[in-house]
Amino acid sequence: MKKKRTRVSVINSSFNEFITSHMLKSCLRRLHESHISKKDIKVYQVPGAYEIAPVLSKAIKSKKFDAFVCIACIIKGETPHYKHVSDHVNTAVSKLAIKYEVVVANAIITCNNLKEAIERAGCKMGNKGSQAAEAVIKTLKVLDSIK
């Protein structure tokens, strides 16, 4: 019996690209290590975290993918704007995953400062991009066992 291909959409925010680029590379590396081919991974670049939800929604509705990874880095500034963006994006992503019953790994990090962001993108706290890819892989296995 032929093994089913796993198709993954990665939606990556270009804002704070010096952080998200590391998370994206780590995510893709982990997916490839799990034998998901490059041709079965589609990366969509969006300008910022706020734009993730509409792209995720369209990608889900396309029915071309088995799972999704959302990557962004939101760093606290001098106003509460970061909190509004973070709350909106995380809520929207969660609602889409529940509504459409799809696997969505959330690598949207919200940090107090640049140091925290760097740590979560590959230093002391691991790489959230790689961790999101791992979450997709493990969750898909669980779902396959339920069918």
CA 84 to the chain's CA centroid = 19
Residue 64: CB partners within 8 Å, gap ≥ 6?
7, 9, 42
Mean pLDDT of the chain: 91
CATH no. for 8-146 = 3.40.50.960
Domain residue spans of the chain: 8-146
Burial zone of 147 (CB within 10 Å; 0-12 exposed, 13-18 middle, 19+ buried): exposed
Catalytic, out of 22, 32, 35, 81: 81
Taking only the tens place, the pLDDT of each residue in 35-93 is 999 999 999 999 999 999 999 999 999 999 999 999 999 998 888 788 888 899 999 99
What's the pLDDT band for 30 if we cut at 50, 70, 90? very high
What's the pLDDT band for 124 if we cut at 50, 70, 90? low
Q: What is the pTM of this model?
A: 0.92
Respond yes or no: is residue 81 known to be catalytic: yes
